[in-house]
Chains A and B, each alone.
Chain A
Amino acid sequence: MELLEVKNLCVEFGSEENPFRAVDQVGYTVSRGEVVGIVGESGSGKSVSSLSIMGLIDYPGRVTADSMLFNGQDLQKLSDKERRKITGADIAMIFQEPMSSLNPCYTVEFQISEALKIHQGGTRKWRRERVIELLEQVGIPDPKSRLSNYPHQLSGGMSQRVMIAMAIACEPILLIADEPTTALDVTIQAQIMDLLLDLQKQKNMGLVLITHDLALVAEAADRVIVMYAGQVVESGPAEELFSTPKHPYTQALLRSLPESSVGQDRLDALPGVVPGAFDRPTGCMLSPRCAYATERCHNEQPHIQGDKIRQVRCFTPLDANGEPVQ
């Protein structure tokens, strides 16, 4: 059984008559022990879609989905109280900027043991021991001395380790990491990714890795989902997707990386920008920027098609040579 199965997830903001769809018919699955990467540029809806799984989209945002199954339970059908029991314990999340996600007014010990207290209770002494154990697990040297530290006393890498300790405090089976290393330096990024993947293997968790860094996903993920303007445009096994992209957007993204144009003077840039709230095109979202767009692309929206393993949202998916199939 899949750990997480989302079908037709939509998140809307704004008025009922003229809503803005930040996330549009998104569906994906995550199994135990699997690393799923979600990539996309800013404004593609990758963060909002995962926040809605955590139940963190507040009014006036509206979340609808055909189903949002976690371990066989539909999260939408649960009462708020029941849902709170799951989020933070079985599903945990690591946020983007460690410096601003920690509460500056409380100590490291307080913030980590808060989750333990709510979900598992126990005595204060037990919780303190557990916090020390967790800090050790995430590789913080001399954890006892760090207990009474406040976030401002920690470096960026340290804060992210504390965030990870907080997330794994209640032994989650699904971990959502939203840009966990974006604010960090490369050498620290490598340390944090190592730690995350080690923990994921050790505890056999499902890991959803949200990032805009394609190379990072290529190295870490088993399966990749590419998002554009709120929609999933392509999904598939990491290696296959990066070697033979089927969607023009994936292809263009890969080509625009400096790594792909070694020995060339110019980079293959994708013209234009991601459409915002007020300038979404009709038809395919990529059509104004797409090199292969036809008349049909400008008028009609393609549906996502393909088998369970490999899916693509395009009328003329690309073949193995990177040319559109007519």
Chain B
Amino acid sequence: MSSNSSAPLLEVEGLKKHYDVKGGLFKPDATVKAMDGVSFKLERGKTLAVVGESGCGKSTLARVLTMIETPTDGALRFDGEDILSLGKDAAKVLRQKIQIIFQNPYGSLNPRKKVGSILEEPLIINTDISKEDRKQKSLAILQKVGLRPEHYDRYPHMFSGGQRQRIAIARSLMLDPKVVVADEPVSALDVSVQAQVLNLMMDLQQDMGLSYVFISHDLSVVEHIADDVMVMYLGKAVEYGRSEDVFSNPQHPYTQALLSSTPRLNPEHRREKIKLEGELPSPLNPPSGCAFHARCRFARDQCHKEQPQLLDAKSGKVACFAVEQAWSFD
């Protein structure tokens, strides 16, 4: 395997995932464009956050990145190497380097298996190290995520939500991955526990030099943990840039609305509320032109007809005609 240190660790170009839906007897078959042309670069040791409402394709992205599903189209490069063109065996080695933490720790751990065997399963499948070494490794990782050696022989139901998520994190680290895709890792947890798990994730990133793709709908968490942010709407990225820029100066009207509707504790941090009418359109029947036009306060004729492209803006990239052509609003 060649390692190209100048290339970004993970590079994604025009990634698409379409699902065919059978219409049944009376309706024609249809295609759901769950993810429709997503591109980004993830640098070593950095965190990219993917933000959006339910149905915008962020979990599909996670599944495609970890090769649980094969994309319909697009390129996926890890360390400069195109994963999708590799043979089965080479892909199997590469996919060890990209691991995932699932959303709900109550659903993602097998209740019939002890913590030890949950952690060792990836080792049994992917490596041929001895039983003794496997146990040593599990115990070392358990300690790293803040659990005790005696937890090795327990079942998942004996743990609280925060501890379970620690086990899920430990499992994702068993194969020494380079990239960890975290799909809403803290949204099922209480506030005080959420902070513990976020701290753990940041510590592990420093210790092990991990890169995260952090998928979340909670903007205050994202603001804290992310280096880069990508905002998605109906399968497409609408804004992509450095975290500070996106949060201090959101440019796409959807990002602006999203930020303004997030409740804030401190009255000084509150933004003027931008009310969004209506709901996320169905990906089965997406609107023509810009997907956001029906809810957008700036929409003009052009937005109904043409699709804006993700282009360079003052900072980062934005897919919006209003930004592209610098429409003025009074």
Point out residues on A near B: beta carbons under 8 Å: 41-42, 155-158, 185-191, 194, 212-216, 218-219, 239, 242, 252-254, 256-262, 265-271, 273-274, 276
Complex contact A261–B263 (CB within 8 A): no
Q: Mark B218-241, 1 if CB is under 8 A from A, else 0.
A: 011101110000000000000000
**A270 proximity list for chain B (CB < 8 A):** 192, 195-196
> A258 near B190 (CB under 8 angstroms)?
no
Beyond the given A194-B275, A239-B267, A273-B193, could you list 11 further A-B residue pairs with CB under 8 A, ordered by the A residue number? A185-B54, A185-B217, A190-B275, A215-B263, A253-B191, A256-B192, A259-B220, A259-B264, A259-B266, A269-B199, A274-B190
Residues of A within 8 A of B160 (CB): 273, 276
CA distance A164 to B219 in the complex (A): 27
- Tell me whether B265 and A260 are in contact (CB under 8 A): yes
> In the bound complex, do residue A190 and residue B196 qualify as a contact, i.e. CB atoms below 8 Å apart?
no
Please give the distance in Å from B55's CB to the nearest CB on chain A.
Answer: 9
A186 to B221, CA, bound (A): 13
Output the nearest chain B residue to A271 by Cβ-Cβ distance: B196
Known: A187-B258, A261-B224. A214 touches B195 (CB 8 A): no
- Taking Cβ atoms with an 8 Å cutoff, the residues of B that contact A are 53-54, 160, 162-163, 190-196, 198-199, 202, 217, 219-221, 223-225, 257-258, 261-267, 269-270, 273, 275-276, 279-280
Residues of chain A within 8 A (CB-CB) of B224 are 258, 261-262, 267
Taking a contact as CB atoms under 8 Å apart, the answer to whether A212 and B279 are in contact is no
A213 touches B279 (CB 8 A): no
Hey, which chain A residues are within 8 Å of B191, CB to CB?
41, 212, 214, 253, 256-257
Please give, as numbers and ranges, the residues of chain B lying within 8 Å of A41 by CB-CB distance. Answer: 190-193
CA separation between A256 and B221, bound complex, in Å? 11
Report B-chain residues with C-beta under 8 Å of the C-beta of A262. 223-224
- Minimum distance in angstroms from A184 CB to a CB of chain B: 9
Q: Which residues of B contact A239 (CB under 8 A)?
A: 267
Nearest residue (CB) in A for B269 is: A259
Q: Quick one: closest A residue to B282, CB to CB? A: A155
The reply to whether B190 and A42 form a contact with Cβ atoms under 8 Å apart is yes
Q: Is the CB of B223 within 8 A of A258?
A: yes
A187 touches B198 (CB 8 A): no
Asked, given contacts A42-B190, A216-B263, whether A258 binds B279 with beta carbons under 8 Å apart, the answer is no
Q: Quick one: closest A residue to B163, CB to CB?
A: A273
Task: Give, as a whole number of angstroms, the nearest-CB distance from A36 to chain B.
Answer: 17
Chain B residues lying within 8 Å of A274, measured Cβ to Cβ, are: 190, 192
- Please name the residue on chain A nearest to B277 by beta carbon: A191
Q: Which chain B residues border A261 with CB–CB below 8 Å?
A: 224
Query: A265 vs B205: C-alpha distance in the bound complex, in angstroms?
Result: 12
User: Which residues from chain A contact B54 at a C-beta distance below 8 Å?
Assistant: 156, 185
Q: Pull 10 A–B residue pairs with CB atoms less than 8 Å apart, ordered by A.
A: A188-B53, A214-B191, A239-B267, A256-B191, A258-B195, A259-B264, A266-B199, A267-B198, A269-B198, A273-B193
Measured between alpha carbons, how far is A158 from B282 in the docked complex, in Å?
Answer: 14
Chain B contacts of A186 at CB under 8 A?
A: 53, 217, 219, 258, 261-262
In the bound complex, residues from chain B placing their C-beta under 8 Å from that of A187 are 53, 257-258, 261, 276
The answer to whether B190 touches A219 (Cβ under 8 A) is no
B261–A219 touching, CB < 8 Å: no
**Shortest CB distance A40–B (Å):** 9
- Bound form: Cα–Cα A221–B217 in Å: 24
In the complex, A274 Cα to B270 Cα: how many Å? 30
Contact residue among A157, A260, A267, A269 (Cβ-Cβ distance under 8 Å from B279):
A157
Taken together as a complex, chains A and B put the C-alpha atoms of A271 and B265 apart, in Å, by 22
Indicate whether A257 sits within 8 Å of B53 (C-beta atoms), given known contacts A185-B217, A194-B275. Answer: no
B195 with A269: CB separation less than 8 A: yes
**Inter-chain contacts of A188 with B (CB < 8 A):** 53, 279
Separation of A188 and B162 alpha carbons in the complex (Å): 27
Interface centre among B202, B279, B280 (most CB of A within 10 A): B279
Most buried by A among B199, B263, B269, B276: B263
Indicate if the CB atoms of B263 and A218 lie closer than 8 Å.
Answer: yes
Closest to B53 in A: A185
CA A219 to CA B268, docked complex, whole Å: 12
Chain A residues positioned under 8 Å from B280 (CB to CB): 185
How far does the alpha carbon of A273 sit from the alpha carbon of B269 in the complex, in Å? 29
Whole-angstrom CA separation of A257 from B264 in the bound complex: 10
Cα separation A256 to B199 with both chains bound (whole Å): 10
Interface centre among B192, B193, B223, B275 (most CB of A within 10 A): B192
Complex CA distance for A267 and B224, rounded to whole angstroms: 9
A267 pairs with B217, CB closer than 8 A: no
Contact B265 A215 (CB under 8 A): yes
Cβ A252 vs Cβ B192 within 8 A: yes
Distance between Cα atoms of A41 and B273 in the complex (Å): 27
Residues of A within 8 A of B266 (CB): 259
Please give the distance in Å from A279's CB to the nearest CB on chain B: 10
Which partner residue on chain B sits nearest A218 by CB separation? Answer: B265
